[in-house]
Structure 1
Amino acid sequence: MDSGDVCLYDDTSAGVLMVYFRELNAGHAGTYRCGVNTSHYMEVQLKVQAAFTERVNKSVVVGDEVNITCRIPEEHKSSPKFFCKEDENHICQTVSRSKVKLNDFSDKSLFTVIISDVTERDAGVYWCGAETSHTDFTFISLTTKVQLKLIMPPVLGDEGGSAQIVCPYDPIFNSKKKKLMKSCTDENTLMEMNRWSVNDDTTASVFSVNITGLTAEDAGKYCCAVTLETDVIYLYTHLIIIIKQELLLNKSEGDNMSMECKHHAEYQKVFCKAHEVSMCVNDGVSLQSIRDDGFSLSDETSTGVFTVNISHLREEHSGIYWCGSHIITKVHLNVMRESSVMKKIVFIVCVCVILLLIGGITLIDFKIKCNKTPDPKSLPTIPSSDDDMLYTAVSFHKYEDSVSDATVTFSKDEILTEYTTVIYNMRLE
C-alpha cells in the first residue's frame, strides 16, 4: 500500500510488516496499531522531533567505488548503524553486506559506507540511520538521504558525424518513463526529432539515443533519467565534439609557443598528448601530470579560453595534442632541430638553382639550333671532268606535316668551273 507519504509492505518470507514514513512531519505524530487482526496487535506511539535530516548528493564513475559519510543523532550513536536503498515502491530495503562496507569513526555519531564496483543498478536513493529494537518491533531512524548519481564514460563524436548515448538502468525500472536531458534539467528534455532517434530495450534494460549531424552546440552534459513518482534517478555523461578544423604548428627547437583551447567553466579541461582522442580523455597524459617545467597554464574563464604555454621547445615535444573541454581541437606540433631546418633550406635552394640552370641551358641550345646556317666551305665537292660546265644537284625532302609547298629558282653562272652536289633536308613551314 502507498498512500503518498506512508508505504506499507508485507514481507511474507520474513514474516515482517514494514511501514515507511516518507518526508516525516508533525502530522504523522500519534498512536498507531499494527498486527494480524484486531485481537493480535500492538500499539506504537510516534513522536516527531525537530528536523535532523541531511541531504547528500554523490557522483561516481561506473566501475569505481564511492564513500558515503553518514551522520546520526547523538541519542542514537550507540545504536546499530543502518543503511538501506529505496526500491521502486519507496520501501527502504537493507543493502547486502557483500555489496557495502560500514566503518565507524571514533566519533560514534558518524560512520562511512563504501560501495565498491558500482554499476547502473546502484544508482538511486539511499538512507543512513540507526535502529532501536523492541520486543515486537524495530524502530529505524533514517537521518541522511543520499542521492547517488552515476557518471558514464564520455561519448566522443566528430563534427558532422554521429554518436550514441547509451543509458543502462536497473531492470526494476523497465516500466518506468525514461528521458534524456541536456544539462540535466527538465526544461532541456530532448524530444525525438530528425537528428535524434530513441530506443528503449527493456529486455537488455538499456535506453539509447542516436544523434546524427553532430554540431558544436550538441556538446555538453547529458542525463539519462528514470522518472518515479517523487524522484528522478539518473546517471549522466558528457558528449565531446571533435571539431573538423585541425591546427598545424611547425616550430624550431628553442622557440616558445602557445595553444589556445576552448573551455567552459562547467566542464573539465582537457590537454594531453596522444595519438587518439579516446586515449586522451580516458587515460591520456594530462597537463597536471606532465612533469616538464616548460609547460604552464593560464585560464581566462571570462573569455571561454585557457592557454597552454610551452617554452624552450625540444624535438621530443613533437606529436599530436588535444585541447579543449566539451569541444576539443586536434593540434599537430612539429618541432625541428636548427640543423635540420638549415639543411631543408639549403636543399630547396640547391634544387631551385639546378632547375634554373637546366632550363637556361636548354633554352640557349634551342636558340642556337634554330639560328644556325650551313657553311658553304663545309659542303662536299665532287671534281668535274667538264671544264666548261657547273652542275648543281639539290634534293629536297618534304616532311609530311608541312602545310604548303615551296618553289626554289637557280640561275646558271657560266664562269664557274666546278660543280657541287648539295643535299638539303628542309622542313617547310
Structure 2
Amino acid sequence: MKIILTFTLLMIPGVVSSISVTGYSGGGVTITCKYDEGYAANKKYFCKGQWSYCTDQIKTDKKDKWVHSGRFSLYDDTRSAVFTVTIRDLTELDSGTYWCGTDIYAKKDLYTEVNLEVIRDQPIRSVRGYSGGNVIINFKYEKQEVNPLIHICNTATYQCFTVINTNRAAGWEQDGRFSVQDDRSAGLLRVFIRDLNENDSGEYQITVKVSEEYSFFSEFNLIIRDDDCCVKSISLSAAAGGSVNISCKYPQSHISDVKFLCWRSGADLCAEETSVKESRRWSPEGKIQLYDDREEQLLTGSISHVTEQDSEYWCGVQSDQGHKSFISRVLIHVTETTSSSSSSSSVKSQHLRMCIK
C-alpha cells in the first residue's frame, strides 16, 4: 500500500500531470513517466486506485535495468530522468486510474496520474504461414491516432521494421520483405511479410507509438511450416480472351477456413480477390469462380477473359480473424488469342464444372 500526501500538492502548479492511455484486451501498453533529475536515486512505483490511497502494482529502487512483477515491468532510466512501465495481457478490468510515483522520504511524493482505458478486442495469438508464401496479419484498433509510429519486431532476433503514416488513405510502406498499411478509416493495421521461410518462425510484437507518453502493442506467435501437401509455384498457359483453370491443394488444418484466389498487380499483392466460404459450392458468377472441395483439400478456380495482366495469382486461406496465408503462387503465360484455343479453353472450363458437380 502507498499513501500519497496530496492535500497541498494540488495547489502547486505543474507538479501533478495527467495522461490518458488506451489499450486493447490481450495486448499491452507502455507508459513513460518523467521525474525531476534530483530524484534519480529514489524508488519509483506504479500504483492503482484513488489519488490519496492506492495499491502498488510494482515498486523498485533498481536503476537502469528492467524489473518484473507479474504482468508489470518497470525500467528506471536515470540518464533521461524517466521511468517506463509496461503492462501485458490486458483485460477490461485493468481500466482505471493509476499513478507513476517517485518515493520521497519525509516529503510529498511526486507523481503523474494515468487514466487507462482497455477496449475489448480479440487478440492475435498465432498466425500460420508456409515456406515460399506470404502472410497478411491484421491488427485492429478503434482509436484513430495522429501520425502513429509503428514498429514490427521479431522479439528473438530484434529485427524490426518501422513506419510512420501521415496519410489517411495510405498505401503499403515497404522495407525489404516487410510492408505495412495503416488503414485509419477501417481502424486496421495490416502487416505483410513475403517470401517466408522457417527461420521467420517466432514471437513478434506490433507496437503503435501514440506519443512520447505511451504506446500500445500486441504480441503473437508466427508459425512457418514447409507442408508437403502444397505446391509452392504453378505455371500455366492461356490464350488471351480465353479461360484458364487453376487447382491448389491446401493443408488439412485449413479445411474450415475461407479460401481465396488473389490477383497480383505490381506491388499490390491483392489487387482483386475472390473467396469461397462453403464446401462444394461455386462462388458467384464473375471473372473468377472458385470451388472448395474440403474432402480432397483442393481449391479449384476458373478465370475467364484472360488478358496479359492476368500473369500472377495466389491461392490462399483466411482465418476467422482475417489473417491471410498465401500458399501457392500461380504464374500464367498468356499467348495470342486464336479461335481454336479460345474454344478449347471454354470447353475445358465447362467440362471442369460438370465433373465437380
Category of TM-score, reference length = shorter chain = 0.3 to 0.5
Which has the larger Rg?
1
Higher relative contact order (CA 8 A, sep 6+): 2
TM-score by length of 1: 0.28
Normalized per residue, the structure richer in helix is: 1
Normalized per residue, the structure richer in strand is: 2
TM-score by length of 2: 0.32
